[in-house]
Structure 1
C-alpha cells in the first residue's frame, strides 16, 4: 500500500502546479496585459517560487503559449439540438460567453495585443482557433446530411462567418456582445449558407 503512494505524489503535485501557473498566467494577462506580464508575477500569483516556473518554462513566451494551448485542449461541448439553427445559436452564445467571461479576455489579450506578432503566439492562436473549428464541424456536416443546408456547404467557412461579427465587435469597434449579437450572427450565417454562398471552393 505505502510503496504505491510515493510515485503518485510528484505527478499530482506537478499537475497542480501546472494548472495553478496556467491560471495565474491567464489572470495576469487579464489584469496587466501581455507587455507587463513577468514570470515573477505569475509565480507569486500561483503561490510557487519563480525557479519552479523556470524549471518548466524557459521564458514568458513559452509560458503564455503553453497556457493558451491548455485552453485550446479544454473540452468544448458540441451542441446537437436536432436543428442547425439551434446548434449554431448554442455555438454562438457559448462563444460570446467564452470571450466575455472567465479566461476569455486573457486569451484575446494574449492573441491580439502585445505579443500577437511573436511566432510562438501566432502558432498558439492558430492552434486555439483551429481546434475550435475542428470540434464544431459536425454541426455543419449533420445539417447537410439532414438537408437543412446545401450539399457542399463548407463547415469552416460557415463557422468563420458565424464568429466574424462577434470578433469584429470585440476587437475592432469595442462594442458590447451578448446573446442578441450571437443570434444575429446565426441569422447572417444561415442566410449566407442557404443562399449557397458558403460552399466549398476547393476540391
Structure 2
C-alpha cells in the first residue's frame, strides 16, 4: 500500500534532522484531541496545544505543515483506538463490527470532534481534501480491501466496485448523523450492512 501524505512527511522530517520522539508525538496528538473535545476547535490553538502537552511551538511547527493537519492527525490517532480497523474474522463480520463501533462512537465526543474537524478544513481551505488525504483515505482503502476480499470469497454478494459499496454504507451513516434523519441505532446499522452487502447466509 502506498504511504500516506502524513507518513511521507514524517519520513522527510526524519531525514532532515532528528527523528520524532514517539512520546512527544503522542503527547502532542493526545493534547490536541483532548482540547478539541473539551474546549472546541476555536480554542485549540498551537499555543494551547504546546502548553497542554509541554512541548515547544517550534517542535509542533516543525512536525506539522499546518494547524489543520495537526488536528486531523490528532483525530486519526484517537480513531485508531476508538474505532480500530478490524483485522480478524471473515469480511462480513469485520465490516459489521467496524460499523457497530463507528455508530457507537458517533453518539459521543468522537462524532462531535469529527464533524468539527471536517468543518474546520472546509472553512479554512474550501474543501475537505486535507481531511481525506490525512484521515479518510487511509481507512477507506483498508475497508475496500476487506470488501473486495468478501466479494472474492463469496461472503459478500453485492456486485459492483468496493468503493460504491463502502460509500453506500458509511455515506448513509454519516448523512443520517449529520442531518439527524432518525436515530443511529445498532439495529439500523445491522440492517444497513445486510441490505448493502447482501451477505451469504452463513456469513
SS at match of 2:22: helix
SS at match of 1:161: helix
1:133 alignment partner in structure 2: 140
Q: Distance in 2 between matches of 1:58 and 1:15?
A: 18
TM-score (norm 2): 0.68
2:36 alignment partner in structure 1: 29
Residue 84 of structure 2 corresponds to residue 78 of structure 1? no
Count residues in correspondence. Answer: 180
Q: Distance in 2 between matches of 1:103 and 1:150?
A: 32
Q: Distance in 2 between matches of 1:142 and 1:58?
A: 36
- Choose the corresponding residue for 2:161, options 147, 154, 163: 154
TM-score (norm 1): 0.68
189 and 20 in structure 1: CA distance in 2 versus 1, 3 angstrom threshold? same
11 and 71 in structure 1: CA distance in 2 versus 1, 3 angstrom threshold? same
The answer as to whether partners of 1:35 and 1:115 remain within 8 angstroms in 2 is: no
1:179 alignment partner in structure 2: 186
Instruction: Return 43-52 or 143-152, whichever deviates more.
Output: 143-152
Shift of 1:166: 1.8
The answer as to whether partners of 1:26 and 1:107 remain within 8 angstroms in 2 is: no
Shift of 1:70: 5.1
Residue 51 of structure 2 corresponds to residue 44 of structure 1? yes
Instruction: Return 37-46 or 144-153, whichever deviates more.
Output: 144-153
1:63-90 per-position Cα deviation (integer Å, ceiling 9, x unaligned): 3244356568886223433x63x33311
108 and 189 in structure 1: CA distance in 2 versus 1, 3 angstrom threshold? same
130 and 159 in structure 1: CA distance in 2 versus 1, 3 angstrom threshold? same
Q: Find the structure with the greater CA-based Rg.
A: 1
Q: Which consecutive unaligned segments of at least 5 residues does structure 2 have?
A: 1-17
Residue 123 of structure 2 corresponds to residue 117 of structure 1? yes
Q: Which consecutive unaligned segments of at least 5 residues does structure 1 have?
A: 1-9, 195-203
Q: Distance in 1 between matches of 2:102 and 2:182?
A: 15
Shift of 1:110: 0.6
SS at match of 1:114: helix
Superposition CA RMSD, Å: 3.4
